[in-house]
């Protein structure tokens, strides 16, 4: 942590997306549309990439045919 600024650097943090699967949307979809969740996640990942923050994507036992995280 940069003690002068009180902020973390990209070497000290990571963005971790855990179990980001369509089945998990069901628990929050009643409040937030799936498109908005995906859009917010894409922007969060882009921001992490822009600041050289490592991104870890973890899913449990699911083969995902989609590659939304790799799209433009």
Tally the domains of the chain: 1
- Structural domain boundaries enclosing 25: 13-62
Write the CB contacts of 6 (distance below 8 Å, at least 6 apart in sequence): none
Q: Is the pTM of this model over 0.85?
A: no
- Determine, yes or no, domain membership for 39: yes
Reply yes or no on whether the pLDDT at 68 is more than 80: no
Give φ, ψ of 42 to 5 degrees: -60, -45
Average pLDDT over residues 39-45: 90
Distance (Å, whole) CA 30 – CA 50? 31
- Determine, yes or no, domain membership for 51: yes
Which pair of tokens denotes residue 19?
């179990």
Q: What pLDDT score does 69 carry? A: 55
Between residues 8 and 42, which one has the greater pLDDT? Answer: 42
Q: What pLDDT score does 38 carry? A: 82
Q: Is 26 strand, coil or helix?
A: coil
Reply yes or no on whether the pLDDT at 12 is more than 70: yes
């Amino acid at each position: 942590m940069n003690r002068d600024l009180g902020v973390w650097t990209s070497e000290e943090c990571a963005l971790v997306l855990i179990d980001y699967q369509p089945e998990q949307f069901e628990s929050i979809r009643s409040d937030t549309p799936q498109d908005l969740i995906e859009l917010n996640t894409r922007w969060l990942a882009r921001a992490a990439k822009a600041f050289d923050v490592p991104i870890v994507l973890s899913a449990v036992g699911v083969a995902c045919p989609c590659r939304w995280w790799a799209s433009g």
